[in-house]
Amino acid sequence: MRIAVCYNLTPATLRRGEERDRTADLGVAHEAEAVNEALAGLGHDTDLIVLDHDLHDFVLQLRKYAPQLVFNLCEGFCGNAHREMNVAALFELLNLPFTGSSALCLGLTQDKIKTKMLLSQKGLATPKFLSVSGKGKIVASL
């Protein structure tokens, strides 16, 4: 099987997110290389494709390689961890099967309050919570 192992480069400064997001992303190149080697060792045709600031180039590389599957290790785009869902959406728009969660799932889980509300509404157990604004006003609770 032809598999593209995709990961994003992490810029020196984040546009959105926390410094720990950047720290977590720094090891992804090593992870991608390990995944690539493991898949190749199993007999798959693999290629590492890096998502940097040039989205157009990323799409061109994907189209040129024409993978049957994308092993998605992208955790965001251009230093914005909240754009992780957009990368999954790109794979969906290109009709490329990929590992991991769908764009919708990634988008919903970026909002922890909405996620907890949805889980609760469907009868799934979730710990009680309280969200308070910077002014001390209760925003949401369960």
pLDDT in tens, 74-110: 998 988 888 999 999 999 999 999 999 999 999 999 8
Global pTM value: 0.82
Q: Retrieve residue 112's tokens.
A: 């922890």
d(CA 5, CA 90) in angstroms, rounded, equals 15
d(CA 110, CA 6) in angstroms, rounded, equals 21
Of 90, 98, 73, the C-alpha closest to 3 is 98
CB of 21 closer than 8 Å to CB of 39: no
